[in-house]
Structure 1
Amino acid sequence: MDPLIITCLGLLGLLAVFDLYVGVSNDAVNFVNSAVGSRTAPFYVIMAVASAGVLAGATFSSGMMEIAKSGVLVPSQFTFTEVLIIFSAVMVTDVLLLNVFNSLGLPTSTTVSIVFELLGGTMALACLKVWTNELPITDLALYVNSAKALSMIMAILVSVVVAFVAGLVVQFVMRLLFTFNYARAYRILGGLFGALCMTAIVYFLVMKGAKGASFMTPEMLEWLKTNNDPILLAVFGISFLLMQGAILLKNANIFPFVILAGTFSLAFAFAGNDLVNFVGVPLAALDAWHIFSAAEGADPSSFMMGQLAEPTTASSMWLLLSGVVMVGTLWISKKARRVIITSVKLSSSSRGGKEQFGSSLPARVLVRTTLHASNMIQQFLPASLLRGLGSRYVPRQYKPGEIELPFDEIRATVNLVLAAALIASATSLKLPLSTTYVTFMVAMGSSLADGAWDRESAVYRVSGVLTVISGWFLTAFSAATACGIVTILFLWGGTWLMIAGMVVACALLVKSNFFTKEEGLDLDDGREISEGNRDAIFTKLEAAVRDNVRETLNIASGGIEGLLNQDVHSLRRLKSDAVKLFDKATEQRGEYYTMSTNANAPKADRDARNFYYRACTNMKEVAHELRDQIGVSENYVANSHSAMTGSMAANLGKLAHLLRTMDPTMKPDECRRVHELIDEAQNEYLAQFSQEKISLRKSELFLGKLIFTREMLNRFSMVKFLLAGLEEQREEGLYQADADRAKKQAGAASS
């Protein structure tokens, strides 16, 4: 056997491991976001349950492996070498494409990527064969399993609409039954709701998914089919008795159990349906090698792979090992947690936080059109009906200091169980349904039905959905095009280029996934809701001011140095840091609205909140101006404008040094030296301007730096004054409290 072919197979296996890592990093959001968003259990418990579901579901994915072998290409029309080229190109393209989307934090579809990569690689090679052999263009249909490919693509597209509508309708009905304050309805309907969920989970995962399990025998499948109704009735009856009994007798909360069961089921369905996306192609290549090896003395460039279309059962060992890799990825991948943030925030009902996406024209038009249509419909509906519906949507009132969840347990359960049911149904039909499409659109439909998209957030949420969906279509186009190009390159370059391409793909993935710092999971963006009392506000504001001043001084001084050194890469990095600082300052000021709004709170606490708002407003304005200043400097250097010279360069260098060495407490002597330097720099600029020609663009940039620095010092001085005033009030309050306490103790002793 050619050692190069063995090397290719080994690298395909290694790429399968990377594809599992990259793919699960993308798709982990599919089965953990609902449990994470509802805070139903600690994160490690959710991950443990999801891990168990992935391991179990991996063994049920055997039937889906046929998709990679004969779902798109017609094996009898390709030689062993050509099949190996297509499979290698698919894997190289897949891991790199998914890694790009993960880095952007966008949940894309691994199903779409693998299907369209197979389609693009097959079509590219088929077109080349037809063109080389001067065959009619209609012969392309002989190389592509068009009927199966079309059914898969249609199933993926239809799933978007079905999942969204199903999530919308089911969540609307559930909210009408339970409302947001569902304590009363829960005691009556909780057991029935939980039993229905558990029955649906067993039916769709076990009863319908069993025929895809690698260990199921025909006798076992027949027994399940014969006893289908008794099994489901038993599951429903036992679940209802146990759950309703726990509710009535122990006042237990069954939702965490149901949500974790739904997490397990969705992870199970994900592994059963999507495992083919990651290891199906390498396993198909392994099967092709076994077929070729059995034909002793065969020429790989002429041996046709018709036997590859014959149905086989994937080895349970390979499936279980794949499940182990997927579980490991769940625990170590930070990119997986980054994608979770995107999906949870788009479904969130929380107020006061920063939206993940900005607005867009299509979203504005869509929201405005929907509002007009809603107003027209309301005119034809009875007022009593509208009042009745409105009473079911009265939001839950949170206590001061209580963290508002992205969504509650009702919506989390609907998201999990409904998505698992739809995915498991497709798996039983051997359709590679996009789990990303289904779970994301179910979550979007349920959030819309829940009123999470109000007028304050609708445009941003719709923009986010349109962005993600456009990313999916971009995935299809880019996957097919890129894989087609890679296939042609591998065909022309031969085995050595295939090996080189797979090695490069592995190296890039190792670098981007293991040697790049990634942000961790932070669903609240660092927001901590304060109770709004004076002491808590002072502690929070003191820490915020210290950190903000330090970061601002570092970025401002670095921006000046980057401008003087003409270092565009440093300026781009600092611009990103400035944007993050502005976002952080915006969120800190937004905490003002989450503090206790008790109108009867002591005057000292109300004053402290006002101090907090004014101080944070000043810090936000500084961060905004700093972001703009760094952006102007970056554009200036990127456009290769002339560098600073003479006294302008010298004074900017001195200014950068003073800012770099300034104490974050903003000592008066240091601030005075900076102001004196700014005055001196402005005077020397006028002298230099009179002696040489200085462009308007350079002058604006130089003077802008000076004005920004002066404004920054003035605003931070105001922040320092506000913080000092708050501290003085706090100390007076502590002194008065000590005096009152001593007076009471003295009175008690005398009595």
Structure 2
Amino acid sequence: MDPFLLTALGLLGLLAVLDLFVGVSNDAVNFLNSAVGSRTAPFRIVLTVAAAGVLLGATFSSGMMEVARSGVLMPEKFTFNDVMVVFCAVMVADVLLLNLFNALGLPTSTTVSIIFELLGATATLAFWKIWQAGEPLADIGAYVNSGKALSMIMAILVSVAVAFVAGLVVQFLLRLVFSFRYEKAYRYLGGLFGGIAMTSLFYFLIMKGAKGASFMTPERLAFLKDNSDLILWSCFIGFTVVFQALITFFNTNVLRYVILAGTFSLAFAFAGNDLVNFVGVPLAALDSWHIFSAAPGADPAVFTMEGLREPFAASTGWLVASGLVMVVTLYCSKKAHRVIRTSVNLSSSTRGGREQFGSSLPARVLVRASLNANTLIRQFLPESVLEGIGSRYKKKTLQPGERELPFDEIRACVNLVVAAALIASATSLKLPLSTTYVTFMVAMGSSLADGAWDRESAVYRISGVLTVISGWFMTALSAATLCAVVTLLFQTFGMGLMIAGMVVALVVIIKTNFLTKEKEKSIEEDEGIAGGDVETIRTLLKEAIPVERARTIELLADSIDAFLVADAQKLTDCRDAAVDLLEEVSVARGNYYRMALYQGTKADRDARNFYYRSYSAMKDLAHGLRDQVSVTENYVKNSHSAMTGLMAENLKQISAELNRLKADFTTERAQALLTLLDKAQSDYLVQSNAESVSLRKSELYLGKILYTRELVTRYQMVSFLEARLNFQA
């Protein structure tokens, strides 16, 4: 056996493992965000439930593996060497592309990625073969399975509209039934709702998805088909009765069970539909090798791969092993947690918080059009109908210490059940539906129906949706293009470059995912402060003020030092750090608006005012620091003249005094620095009279003096506010 070929197969296996890691990091949001957003259970429990769903769902994905084998390429038109070029190029391009999107923290579609990579590689190799053979370009249809590829692409596009409308309609109807204050209706209808939800999940996952399982026999499938009505009615009646009894006699919250079951089901459906995106190509390559090996003495450059059209059942062992890799990724991937936060933020109902995306012109146009349409509709509907609908959307009053969730349990159930049903249906039809498209658009539809997109947040939410969807379509273009280029290189330079390319992909993925240390926030970390009581605020300010003060002073001193030696790179680093500081302080100050939702005592309200004033001062300083460092950075990068004489010497002394103040912020130290600043300003007048000092240099120098003075006085005020708060018992 050719050692190069064995090496290529081994590298494909390693890339499959890493592709699973990168892909699941990207797609974990699909089945975790609803349970995380509703905080129905601790994150570890949610992960465990999802892991069980992924592991079992992997064994139901056997039927989907045909997509990689013959869903895009016509195997009888390609030789063994050809398909190995295609499969290797697809894996290299796929791993690198998904890793890039993960690094940007954007959800994207692994399904779109794999399909368009297969299309790009197959079409490129087909054009190569047509050109070599002197055939007309019209013969491209004989090489590319355009009918199947088009049906898969159309299924993905249609799923966007179907998922959004389904989430919108189902959520709107359920909100009319239950309202936001659903405790009363839940007492009487909770069992029925739970029974319908659980039966729907069972039907779509087991009844519809069973034929894709690697361990299902024709006899078992026939039994499910012949007894489907009896099984479904038994499930519905059984779940309804049990849930209603739990509600009535034990006051149990069965919605949590539905959410956890939905999380399991969506993870199950994800693994069943999307596993082909990660291991389908390596398994197809392995199967190609088995087919070729069964023909001793065959020439790999001539032997064609009709065998890939034969019925195929993936080994249960390979599927379970793939599921285990996915489970490990769920627990270990930090990037998965970052993508979850993106999706939860976009569908959050929380008002007044920080939005993840800015506004855009298309979003503004859509919001304005929607407002005009809403005004028009309200003119035709009776006032009684509008009042009735409005009464169902009145939220319950939060109790002291109670946090407003990104969305409640009713919406979490809708997100999970509707998405799982749509994905499982596509799996039963052997269509590689984009789980990212479906779950994201269901969540967006349900959040719109729930009033989460109010006038304060709609333009930012729509901008976020447009940004993410644009990323998906950019995936299609970039995947096809990248894979076409890689295929052309592999076909031109042969097996040596194929192995080198896979090694490079392995090195890049290992370095970016395993060797780069990165501070990540816990998925359960809350940026808010419960009810904003006086003790919590006192403790927070005591811990936060010294840290923020030290960071601000240190960045200012470092930027002055970098400016004096014209270190542009150090100034760029300082500017980036100042931007991060401003972002963090802005988020912390935004917690005040959450505190305002709670009544509390007069002492609590006074403490919140201290909190707001302290963080407003620190935010203004962080904003000024960012501007100061940016101006200094541009000054150095534009190669303007350096500071000299008294001005340079004073800046050195200011930097040194800042470092002393950072270590010991006392009244004496602060006064010493203010005195030095007075001297520095007087010395400017002396130097400017003795020599010509440019306006740009003068403004930079005086700006640093002014900002440093403001920093000292503002933090003295913050210390005074903190002292007053501590004195107030």
Q: State TM-score, norm by structure 1.
A: 0.94
Matched AA of 2:233: L
User: Offset at 1:687?
Assistant: 4.7
Q: Distance in 2 between matches of 1:404 and 1:598?
A: 10
Contact 2:670–2:712, Cα closer than 8 Å, also in 1: yes
SS in 2 for 1:663: helix
Please name the residue that 2:342 is paired with. 342
User: Offset at 1:526?
Assistant: 4.4
User: Offset at 1:605?
Assistant: 3.9
Deviation readout 1:445-480 (Å, 9 max, x if unpaired)? 000000011111111111111110111011111111
**Map 1:110-121 → 2, pairs under 5 A:** 110-121=110-121
Distance 1:600 1:223, change over 3 A: closer
Contact 1:107–1:468, Cα closer than 8 Å, also in 2: yes
SS in 1 for 2:662: coil
Please name the residue that 2:706 is paired with. 707
Q: Distance in 1 between matches of 2:194 and 2:530?
A: 35
- 1:376 paired with 2:369, answer no
Please name the residue that 1:721 is paired with. 720
**Map 1:676-695 → 2, pairs under 5 A:** 676-689=675-688, 695=694
Q: Distance in 2 between matches of 1:119 and 1:646?
A: 66
Farther-moved stretch of structure 1 (219-228 vs 25-34):
219-228
Please name the residue that 1:159 is paired with. 159
**Map 1:241-252 → 2, pairs under 5 A:** 241-252=241-252
Farther-moved stretch of structure 1 (142-151 vs 300-309):
300-309
Q: How many residues align?
A: 729
Q: Distance in 1 between matches of 2:567 and 2:115?
A: 43
Q: Distance in 1 between matches of 2:493 and 2:254?
A: 60
Q: Distance in 2 between matches of 1:640 and 1:297?
A: 69
Please name the residue that 2:516 is paired with. 516
Contact 2:531–2:600, Cα closer than 8 Å, also in 1: no
Contact 2:60–2:209, Cα closer than 8 Å, also in 1: yes
Distance 1:57 1:336, change over 3 A: same
Please name the residue that 1:739 is paired with. none
User: Offset at 1:488?
Assistant: 0.8
Please name the residue that 1:654 is paired with. 653
Please name the residue that 1:543 is paired with. 543
Please name the residue that 2:136 is paired with. 136
Please name the residue that 2:633 is paired with. 634
Distance 1:384 1:432, change over 3 A: same
Contact 2:403–2:531, Cα closer than 8 Å, also in 1: no
Contact 2:62–2:212, Cα closer than 8 Å, also in 1: yes
Distance 1:625 1:410, change over 3 A: same
**Map 1:531-680 → 2, pairs under 5 A:** 531-595=531-595, 601-602=601-602, 604-663=603-662, 666-680=665-679
Please name the residue that 2:43 is paired with. 43
Q: Distance in 2 between matches of 1:647 and 1:128?
A: 71
User: Offset at 1:358?
Assistant: 1.2
User: Offset at 1:420?
Assistant: 0.3
Distance 1:363 1:519, change over 3 A: farther
- 1:391 paired with 2:391, answer yes
Matched AA of 1:719: V
Please name the residue that 1:100 is paired with. 100
Q: Distance in 2 between matches of 1:133 and 1:688?
A: 81
Distance 1:251 1:92, change over 3 A: same
Contact 1:269–1:423, Cα closer than 8 Å, also in 2: yes
Farther-moved stretch of structure 1 (484-493 vs 632-641):
632-641
Q: Distance in 2 between matches of 1:328 and 1:595?
A: 38
User: Offset at 1:144?
Assistant: 0.7
Task: Indicate the percent of aligned positions where both proteins have the same amino acid.
Answer: 62
Matched AA of 1:222: A
SS in 2 for 1:65: helix
Please name the residue that 1:744 is paired with. none
Contact 2:37–2:406, Cα closer than 8 Å, also in 1: yes
Farther-moved stretch of structure 1 (493-502 vs 270-279):
493-502
Farther-moved stretch of structure 1 (131-140 vs 380-389):
131-140
Contact 1:205–1:265, Cα closer than 8 Å, also in 2: yes
Deviation readout 1:339-371 (Å, 9 max, x if unpaired)? 000000111111242111111111111111111
User: Offset at 1:242?
Assistant: 0.5
Contact 1:61–1:273, Cα closer than 8 Å, also in 2: yes
Q: Distance in 2 between matches of 1:608 and 1:537?
A: 7
Q: Distance in 2 between matches of 1:238 and 1:552?
A: 62
Contact 1:400–1:595, Cα closer than 8 Å, also in 2: no
User: Offset at 1:646?
Assistant: 4.5
SS in 1 for 2:126: helix
Distance 1:32 1:524, change over 3 A: closer
List runs of 5+ in structure 1 lacking aligned partners: 734-751
C-alpha root-mean-square deviation of aligned residues, in Å?
A: 1.9
Distance 1:222 1:445, change over 3 A: same
Contact 1:402–1:529, Cα closer than 8 Å, also in 2: no
User: Offset at 1:254?
Assistant: 0.3
Farther-moved stretch of structure 1 (681-690 vs 368-377):
681-690
Q: State TM-score, norm by structure 2.
A: 0.97
Q: Distance in 2 between matches of 1:685 and 1:485?
A: 60
Q: Distance in 2 between matches of 1:108 and 1:326?
A: 17
User: Offset at 1:412?
Assistant: 0.3
Matched AA of 1:373: A
Q: Distance in 2 between matches of 1:387 and 1:665?
A: 61
Please name the residue that 1:330 is paired with. 330
Matched AA of 2:316: S
Contact 1:31–1:416, Cα closer than 8 Å, also in 2: yes
Distance 1:82 1:691, change over 3 A: farther
Please name the residue that 2:479 is paired with. 479
Farther-moved stretch of structure 1 (669-678 vs 77-86):
669-678
Distance 1:44 1:631, change over 3 A: same
SS in 2 for 1:174: helix
Q: Distance in 1 between matches of 2:722 and 2:434?
A: 53
User: Offset at 1:419?
Assistant: 0.3
SS in 2 for 1:186: helix
**Map 1:77-226 → 2, pairs under 5 A:** 77-226=77-226
Please name the residue that 2:506 is paired with. 506
Please name the residue that 1:318 is paired with. 318
Please name the residue that 2:62 is paired with. 62
Q: Distance in 2 between matches of 1:461 and 1:574?
A: 31
User: Offset at 1:612?
Assistant: 2.2
Contact 2:363–2:462, Cα closer than 8 Å, also in 1: yes
Q: Distance in 1 between matches of 2:115 and 2:129?
A: 21
Q: Distance in 2 between matches of 1:436 and 1:165?
A: 16
User: Offset at 1:11?
Assistant: 0.4
Contact 1:530–1:596, Cα closer than 8 Å, also in 2: no
Please name the residue that 1:740 is paired with. none
Please name the residue that 2:301 is paired with. 301
Farther-moved stretch of structure 1 (371-380 vs 304-313):
304-313
User: Offset at 1:70?
Assistant: 0.8
Q: Distance in 2 between matches of 1:679 and 1:501?
A: 62
Matched AA of 1:450: D
Q: Distance in 2 between matches of 1:473 and 1:122?
A: 20
**Map 1:207-286 → 2, pairs under 5 A:** 207-286=207-286
Q: Distance in 2 between matches of 1:645 and 1:81?
A: 69
Distance 1:446 1:686, change over 3 A: same
User: Offset at 1:506?
Assistant: 0.8
Matched AA of 2:335: K
SS in 1 for 2:28: helix
Please name the residue that 1:736 is paired with. none
User: Offset at 1:523?
Assistant: 5.1
User: Offset at 1:690?
Assistant: 5.3
Matched AA of 2:294: A
Q: Distance in 2 between matches of 1:521 and 1:193?
A: 35
Contact 2:533–2:600, Cα closer than 8 Å, also in 1: no
SS in 2 for 1:662: helix
Distance 1:659 1:240, change over 3 A: same
